[in-house]
Amino acid sequence: MLTQKPKGTNDLFPPEVFLWEEIERKFREVCRRFGYQEIRTPIFEHTELFERGVGETTDIVEKEMYTFLDKAGRSITLRPEGTAAVIRAYVEAKKYADPGPAKYFYIGPMFRYDKPQAGRLRQFHQLGVEILGSDEPMVDAEVILMALEFYREIGLNDVELRLNSVGCPECRKSLREKLIEYFEERKDELCDLCKARLNRNPLRILDCKNESCQKIAQNAPTPLSELCPDCREHFTEVRKYLDLAQVKYVIDPFLVRGLDYYTKTAFEFVVPEIGAQSSIGGGGRYNGLIREIGGPDQPGIGFALGEERTILALKRKSEEIFVPVPDLFVCLLGEEAREYGFPLINELRRLNLWVETDYQGKSLKAQLKAANRLKAKAALIIGEEELKSGRFILRDLETGEQVELSRDELIKKYAKERGKDNA
C-alpha cells in the first residue's frame, strides 16, 4: 500500500499536466471576460453544510461523502461539490449586503466516494461559477453562454446543451403529488432505489438510469409540464436570450439534476462519444439555497464543469498535447565554466527564458544529448576556450546553425526576442 495511491485518485505527470494547466488558464480567461472573480474556500466544511446545502435525500449526501470526526469530535466532510461552500462563505462574510450580483469562480478538487470509472474519480476536479443576487433570465442565459464559450475556447465545438426548467417550490408542490400518485400505481415495476425514493423525493425517479424506471417515467408528469405561470414566463425569457445569442439546445424534460436545491433553469453539457458518462458539466438555478444556508432570500445560479471529463472529451479528438520545451540549454564544461555560468543562467532566466543546464559535470557530447532529449531550442557552450576569448557558441538545435556571441550580445539578443514576444 505504501507505494500505491488510494482507489479513485490520480497522479498527474507531464505532459498530461500541461493540458490541465492550459484548460485552467483558458477557464480563468473566460471568467475574466464575463467579470467573474476567483473565490477560494476550504477543502473541508462542517458536514451539516452539505446536508443542508446539497440535500439529505441526494445520492451525494446519502452515500458518497467523505465524512469523519476531527480530534475534537466535530463532523467534518471533504467538499463533494463547490456551490454550498461558496454560499456559506458569501453568507458568513455578509457579502450579500454589497451591491450585487456577486460573481465568483472556483477551480479545485472535490471528493465523492463513488464507483471509479473513466472520467469519474473519488478525487475529481471542477471548474465552476456562481452568480448570486439576480433572478433575471438574462443571467441564466449568460451563465450558459459562458460555459459554451469556454468549451469553444478549448476546442470542444460539438458540446450539446440540454435545457430544462424544474420549477419553483410552488409549482413543485402539485407536481410532487401528481408524481407520487403516478408512480404509486406502477410501484411494482420501479427499481428498489426508486421504491424507496417514492415518498421522499419522487422527482429523482425521472432521471433514474434503470431501464424499467425510464420506461415508466416516459409518461409521467414532469416539472416542465407543471410549471406555474411565473416559472413558465422565466423559462420563455431564458430561451429568448439563448436564441438571441444563437445558442442551440435540446429541451430535456427529464433533466432534474442530482441536487435538491435546483429551481427553474437546469442544464447539462453532453458529449455523446465518451460513453455512459456523457455529461461533462452542468448547472442550474438555486433560488432557495442562500436562505437555506442562513442568508437572506436571494436567488443564485451557477455551473460546475468536470475537468477529468472535459479532458476525456478533448482527447477523443486528439491525443496530442502541447508540450513546452526549454528555450536554452547551457553546456558547462569544467569548474570555472560552472562558476561563470551559474549567475549568467540566472540572468537569462530573468528574461523569462526556460534555461536548463547540466549539474553533473558530464562531457560536452553527453550535455548536447541531454539538450536534444529535452528538445531544447538552442544550446550555449561555455568551456575553457570560450572563457578565455569571451566569445560563446550559441547553436540552434533545430537548424544546427551556430553563431559566436559575447556575453552582452547574448543577453541583448534574448532581451530583444522576449520584447517581441511580449509586444
Residues that bind Zn ion (CB under 5 A): 167-168, 170-171, 191, 194, 208, 210, 213, 228, 231
CB neighbours of residue 341 within 10 Å: 22
Choice between 89 and 191, CB closer to Zn ion: 191
> How wide is the angle at C-alpha 83 spanned by C-alphas 78 and 87, nearest 5°?
105
Q: Rounded to whole angstroms, how far apart are CA atoms 358 and 371?
A: 9
Query: Which residue type, as a one-letter code, is found at position 29?
Result: E
**Closest separation between CB of residue 180 and Zn ion, Å?**
15
Residue 126 annotated as part of some ligand binding site: yes
Q: Rounded to whole angstroms, how far apart are CA atoms 304 and 103?
A: 14
Identify whether the C-beta of residue 277 lies closer than 8 Å to the C-beta of residue 119.
yes
CB neighbours of residue 63 within 10 Å: 10
Identify whether the C-beta of residue 91 lies closer than 8 Å to the C-beta of residue 290.
yes
| Helices assigned H by DSSP within 245-374 | 289-292, 307-315, 335-350, 364-373
Cell output for 382: 561555455
Choice between 171 and 370, CB closer to Zn ion: 171
Choice between 192 and 319, CB closer to Zn ion: 192
Choice between 122 and 204, CB closer to Zn ion: 204
**Closest separation between CB of residue 211 and Zn ion, Å?**
9
Residue 130 annotated as part of some ligand binding site: yes
Give Cα separations from 67 to 45, 61, 76, 145 (angstroms).
10, 10, 6, 35
Nearest Cα residue to 207 out of 179, 233, 186, 231? 179
State which H helix or E strand residue 378 sits in. Answer: strand 378-382
**Closest separation between CB of residue 259 and Zn ion, Å?**
18
Choice between 128 and 167, CB closer to Zn ion: 167
**Closest separation between CB of residue 182 and Zn ion, Å?**
14
Residues 6+ apart with CB under 8 A from 196: none
Choice between 114 and 170, CB closer to Zn ion: 170
**Closest separation between CB of residue 349 and Zn ion, Å?**
59
Nearest Cα residue to 404 out of 415, 393, 390? 393
Sign of CA dihedral 45, 47, 53, 57: positive
Cell output for 9: 485518485
Residue 96 annotated as part of some ligand binding site: no
Choice between 33 and 173, CB closer to Zn ion: 173
Choice between 52 and 285, CB closer to Zn ion: 285
**Closest separation between CB of residue 323 and Zn ion, Å?**
45
**Closest separation between CB of residue 212 and Zn ion, Å?**
7
Q: Are strands 67-69 and 102-111 parallel, antiparallel or unpaired?
A: unpaired
Give residue 97's Cα distance to chain centre. 29
Residue matched to cell numbers 424534460: 253
**Closest separation between CB of residue 288 and Zn ion, Å?**
12
Residue 285 annotated as part of some ligand binding site: no
Q: Rounded to whole angstroms, how far apart are CA atoms 316 and 313?
A: 5
Nearest Cα residue to 85 out of 39, 38, 123? 39
Choice between 76 and 191, CB closer to Zn ion: 191
Residue 32 annotated as part of some ligand binding site: no
Residue 414 annotated as part of some ligand binding site: no
Residue 261 annotated as part of some ligand binding site: yes
- Write the burial class of residue 376 (CB in 10 Å: 0-12 exposed, 13-18 middle, 19+ buried): buried
**Closest separation between CB of residue 172 and Zn ion, Å?**
7
Task: Give the CA-trace dihedral at 298, 79, 313, 141, to 10 degrees.
Answer: 0
Annotated binding residues, written as ranges, equal: 81-83, 112, 126, 130, 257, 261-262
Annotated binding residues for L-histidine, written as ranges, equal: 81-83, 112, 126, 130, 257, 261-262
